[in-house]
């Protein structure tokens, strides 16, 4: 087994594919393997997924961030998804033969590099957070880029590294190590943004009350270019809540309002195991375990 880390940076550009191609090219120069890039024009955001050993991840993050800061200008950025910077958030996920602690250390090293080299205020989140409040990405991003431009970054807005004023074109950045999550969106056959917001709130309520939807983060997004709304989720405990659980919950909630699901989409990549458990869940399959999978018996 070789050391493998997954990195899934989110860039605040989802309308100009040529910009994302340049960033992908920069990331690849360090030896990392880019396995997916998703652009969303409504979110006005891209998610690039790449994997590699710690050296390739270090080189890929540095080159990708440098290129993004060169090409993205937050002063003219608009989009449906909360964000605070050109390089909005950089999660590092241990995949094989790497500990969470190694990813935490790499994220802090890279965060300091971004702060020192590019003069961008940097916040650490999730397992790399300096306090409990910053563990949660939503807290760090609250108010978005615009709120950060209103003055000095002090008190609970003070960055963990870098200058205490926002970078004029690149904004601020968030970086940290976290466990795997599934970025999974359910699109409704409806333009009713209030309905999407109600469903996202219901998911959060169920989760907070410990009833269903364990580990699911949800928000409503208006996909105006497609004339529909979306319930956008992160499944952070895929062992407890499957993709089908989320799909089916949204489907049932929408059905109560007479609305059907148009389709669903995965951003980035997912482990085969998560899809397989989702399949079992969707069919109420009993007596099922990995021994039932023929592939596991073949060398």
Residue range at the interface with a copy of itself (CB under 8 A); choices 20-28, 103-111, 204-212, 260-268: 260-268
Q: Which is nearer to a copy of itself, 43 or 108 (CB)?
A: 43
Any contact of residue 270 with a copy of itself (CB under 8 A)? yes
Choose among 207, 264, 269, 273: nearest CA to 239.
273
What's the closest the beta carbon of residue 265 comes to a copy of itself, in angstroms?
Answer: 6
Burial class (CB in 10 A: 0-12, 13-18, 19+), 126: buried
What's the closest the beta carbon of residue 24 comes to a copy of itself, in angstroms?
Answer: 14
Radius of gyration of the chain, Cα coordinates, nearest whole angstrom:
19
Any contact of residue 261 with a copy of itself (CB under 8 A)? yes
Site for a copy of itself in 133-192 (CB under 8 A): none
Q: CB–CB of 93/85 below 8 Å? A: no
| Whole-number Å distance between alpha carbons of 69 and 171 | 9
What's the closest the beta carbon of residue 35 comes to a copy of itself, in angstroms?
Answer: 5
DSSP letter assigned to residue 30: T
Helix (H) or strand (E) holding 6: strand 4-7
> Contact with a copy of itself (CB under 8 A): which of 6, 127, 128, 233?
6
Site for a copy of itself in 279-298 (CB under 8 A): 279-280, 282-288, 291-298
Q: CB–CB of 212/232 below 8 Å? A: no
Distant-in-sequence, close-in-space partners of 154: CB < 8 Å, separation ≥ 6:
164
Any contact of residue 272 with a copy of itself (CB under 8 A)? yes
Distant-in-sequence, close-in-space partners of 150: CB < 8 Å, separation ≥ 6:
none
Active site residue 77: no
> Contact with a copy of itself (CB under 8 A): which of 159, 244, 249, 259?
244
| Whole-number Å distance between alpha carbons of 252 and 261 | 9
Site for a copy of itself in 37-96 (CB under 8 A): 51, 95-96
Q: Which is nearer to a copy of itself, 201 or 285 (CB)?
A: 285
Supply the residues annotated as catalytic: 81
Residue ranges that bind a copy of itself, judged by CB under 8 A: 2, 4, 6, 33, 35-36, 51, 95-96, 243-244, 247, 261-266, 268-273, 275-276, 278-280, 282-288, 291-299
């Amino acid at each position: 087994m070789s050391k493998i880390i997954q990195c899934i940076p989110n860039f605040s550009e989802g309308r100009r594919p040529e910009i994302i191609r340049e960033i992908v090219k920069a990331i690849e120069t360090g030896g990392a393997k880019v396995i997916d890039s998703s652009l969303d024009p409504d979110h006005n955001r891209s998610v690039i997924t790449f994997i590699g050993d710690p050296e390739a991840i270090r080189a890929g993050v540095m080159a990708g961030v440098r290129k993004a800061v060169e090409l993205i200008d937050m002063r003219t950025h608009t989009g449906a998804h909360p964000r605070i910077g050109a390089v909005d958030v950089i999660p590092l996920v241990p995949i094989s033969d790497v500990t969470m602690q190694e990813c935490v250390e790499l994220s802090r090293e890279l965060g300091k590099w971004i702060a020192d080299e590019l003069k961008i205020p940097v916040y650490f989140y999730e397992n790399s957070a300096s306090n409990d409040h910053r563990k949660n990405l939503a807290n760090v991003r609250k108010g978005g880029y615009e709120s950060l431009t209103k003055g000095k970054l002090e008190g609970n807005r003070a960055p963990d590294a870098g200058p205490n004023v926002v970078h004029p074109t690149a904004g601020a950045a968030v970086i940290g190590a976290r466990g795997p999550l599934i970025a999974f969106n359910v699109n409704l056959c409806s333009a009713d943004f209030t309905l999407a917001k109600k469903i996202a709130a219901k998911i959060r309520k169920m989760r907070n009350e410990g009833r269903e939807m364990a580990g699911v983060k949800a928000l409503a997004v208006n996909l105006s270019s497609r004339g529909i709304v979306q319930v956008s989720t992160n499944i952070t405990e895929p062992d407890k809540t499957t993709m089908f659980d989320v799909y089916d919950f949204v489907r049932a909630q929408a059905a109560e309002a007479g609305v059907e699901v148009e389709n669903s989409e995965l951003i980035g990549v997912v482990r085969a195991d998560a899809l397989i458990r989702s399949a079992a869940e969707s069919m109420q399959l009993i007596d099922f375990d990995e021994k039932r999978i023929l592939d596991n018996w073949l060398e």
